[in-house]
């Protein structure tokens, strides 16, 4: 479904939202990354919240406390609940840090760096957890015809957003020859064979020395999913995790516990939509997150693997899905595919919806997105 003039129709809701004074965004500089999603709790229920910097992003955890314990006459019951929520948030913070240590391509001792260092050489043993995420990344590459490709890195690393310079065309042409997700070979031990011990680990190998991988478009979403899992295991069913462009909210739908505000890609103090959400991940990829302008041309951090240049068919892409790692990776994939191919991909997928702002600032929505507004 293509909607023109959508912006006008959402003005009243938007104004009401802005007047609540809940926006904490501000105009970004080139190096800064504005929050792309805002959360508005819809009830006065008390919550335990923490605002921390993790994976180079501002992350806000919030756990809503159980009504029953709050109305209990015993103050120790509500103290206990607060302490449990604080502990669950501590665990979620540790989990983000653990995932960064495991998956960051910038940390020389991470599993991802070990795969990169051995590119063109031997396969390296990796955790089952990373193996599964790499399998998912491959699946998204296949679904998106290589628009999402974690081996974007050979071209990606030529772009320096602090120096704000455009690489030589020749360098880019050479670099894109080394982008190919099929060069990452994944092998798992045969779990059912008697010969394979339970302790055997899966392996990964990059088949060419000039190819390397980076999980910047999927790892943060994965960390959000893991934090959500920890909160549920701790017995909480109403919470939010807001990691910049990647967010998950849990809670009762009918009471509209959460509303997710989707940032306007050009006017940072405005929202495009205000989405009631429950048990849902919402991720946004935007060309305003990291970019520079050179000769009137905007260059952003999402690379089209086929050209080696930043993708420029969209200003922003928001994806709703059940899991945050899917939403995260698909937002990047659809951003590269552009509005028409991106929308076609989302319409084929169950349980996934999108709101795309194209390069002209027009809003395009998948059929199920509008019905949620
Ligand atoms: P996101 O903000 O989730 O769209 O992720 C952007 C980040 O993903 C970039 O900073 C890169 O680390 C990485 N990236 C850029 N282009 C691609 C691509 N085509 N496929 C996969 N990852 C990418
Ligand atoms: Mg992403």
Does the Cβ of 329 fall within 6 Å of ligand 1?
no
pLDDT at 18: 24
pLDDT top residue among 16 and 147? 147
Does 265 contact ligand 1 (Cβ within 6 A)? no
Task: Tell me the Ramachandran region of residue 338: left when phi exceeds 0, alpha when psi lies from -120 to 50, beta otherwise.
Answer: left
Confidence of residue 36 (pLDDT cuts 50, 70, 90): low
Residue 254 has pLDDT above 60, yes or no: no
Q: Rounded to the nearest whole angstrom, what is the distance from the C-alpha of residue 328 to the centroid of ligand 2?
A: 4
Beta carbons of 217 and 329 less than 8 angstroms apart = yes
Q: Say how many Å lie between the CA of residue 154 and the centre of ligand 1.
A: 13
Report d(CA 277, CA 252) in Å as an integer: 9
Q: Kindly state the percentage of the chain with pLDDT values over 70.
A: 83
Rounded Cα–Cα distance for residues 304 and 225 (Å): 26
| Selected residue with higher pLDDT from 244 and 216 | 216
**C-alpha gyration radius of the chain:** 21
Specify the pLDDT at position 79: 83
Q: What is the pLDDT of residue 348?
A: 96
pLDDT digit string, tens, across residues 179-222: 999 999 999 987 655 555 567 999 999 999 999 999 999 999 99
In short, whether 153's Cβ falls inside 6 Å of ligand 1 is no
Q: Give the global pTM.
A: 0.88
What is the arithmetic mean of pLDDT over 107-122? 98
| pLDDT higher than threshold 90 for residue 336 | yes
Kindly give the distance from the C-alpha atom of residue 267 to the centroid of ligand 2, in angstroms, as a whole number.
21
Query: How many C-beta atoms surround the C-beta of residue 117 within 10 A?
Result: 12
For ligand 1, the distance from its centroid to the CA atom of residue 311, given in whole angstroms, is 10
Decide whether any atom of ligand 1 lies within 6 Å of the 111 Cβ: no
CB 110 within 8 A of CB 102: yes
Q: Fill in the DSSP letter of residue 302.
A: -
- Distance, CA of 35 to CA of 246 (rounded, Å): 9
Given a cut of 70, whether residue 266 has pLDDT beyond it is yes
pLDDT at residue 233, rounded to an integer:
97
Ligand nearest to the CA of 215: 1
Cα 311 from Cα 309, distance rounded (Å): 6
pLDDT band at 70 (very low <50, low <70, confident <90, very high): low
Quick one: average pLDDT of 292-302?
94
The total number of residues shown for the chain amounts to: 373
Nearest protein CA to atom 5 of ligand 1, as residue: 217
Residue nearest to atom 15 of ligand 1 (CA): 302
In this structure, the dihedral spanned by the alpha carbons of residues 105, 108, 110 and 115, taken in order and rounded to 10 degrees, is 70
Q: Give the number of other CB atoms < 10 A from CB of residue 185.
A: 11
Taking the CA of residue 329 as reference, the ligand 1 atom at the shortest distance is: 3
State the pLDDT at residue 26: 27
Substitution site in 37, 155, 156, 287 for ligand 1 pocket (most atoms within 8 Å of beta carbon)? 156
Question: Is pLDDT of 2 > 60?
Answer: no
Say what angle helices 75-103 and 219-233 make with each other, to 10 degrees.
Answer: 150
Average pLDDT over residues 332-356: 97
List, for residues 123-154, the tens digit of each pLDDT value.
999 999 999 999 999 999 999 999 999 999 99
């Amino acid at each position: 479904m293509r909607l023109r003039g959508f912006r006008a129709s959402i003005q009243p809701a938007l104004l009401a939202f802005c007047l609540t004074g809940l926006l904490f965004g501000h105009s970004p500089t080139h190096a800064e990354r504005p929050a792309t999603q805002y959360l508005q709790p819809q009830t006065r229920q008390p919550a335990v919240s923490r605002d921390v910097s993790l994976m180079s992003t501002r992350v806000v955890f919030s756990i809503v406390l159980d009504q029953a314990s709050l109305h209990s006459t015993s103050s120790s019951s509500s103290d206990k609940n607060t302490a449990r929520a604080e502990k669950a948030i501590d665990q979620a913070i540790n989990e983000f840090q653990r995932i960064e240590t495991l998956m960051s391509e910038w940390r020389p001792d991470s599993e991802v760096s070990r795969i990169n260092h051995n590119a063109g050489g031997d396969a390296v043993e990796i955790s089952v957890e990373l193996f599964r995420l790499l399998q998912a990344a491959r699946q998204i590459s296949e679904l998106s015809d290589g628009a999402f490709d974690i081996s974007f890195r050979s071209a990606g690393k030529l772009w320096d957003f602090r120096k704000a310079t455009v690489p030589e065309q020749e360098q880019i042409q050479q670099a894109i020859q080394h982008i190919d997700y099929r060069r990452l070979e994944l092998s798992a031990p045969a779990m059912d064979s008697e010969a394979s011990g339970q302790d055997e680990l899966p392996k990964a190998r990059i088949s060419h020395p000039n190819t390397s991988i980076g999980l910047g478009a999927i790892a943060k979403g994965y960390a959000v999913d893991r934090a959500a899992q920890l909160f549920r295991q701790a017995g909480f069913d109403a919470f939010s995790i807001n990691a910049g462009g990647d967010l998950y909210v849990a809670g009762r739908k009918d009471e509209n516990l959460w509303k997710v505000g989707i940032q306007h890609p050009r006017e940072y103090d405005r929202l495009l939509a205000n989405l009631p959400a429950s048990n849902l991940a919402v991720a946004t990829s935007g060309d305003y997150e990291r970019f520079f302008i050179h000769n009137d041309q905007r260059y952003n951090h999402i690379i089209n693997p086929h050209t080696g240049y930043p993708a420029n068919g969209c200003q922003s892409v928001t994806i709703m899905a059940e899991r945050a790692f899917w939403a995260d990776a698909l937002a990047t994939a659809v951003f590269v595919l552009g509005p028409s191919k991106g929308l076609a991909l989302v319409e084929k997928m169950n349980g996934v919806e999108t709101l795309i702002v194209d390069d002209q600032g027009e809003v395009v929505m998948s059929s199920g997105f509008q019905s949620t507004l």
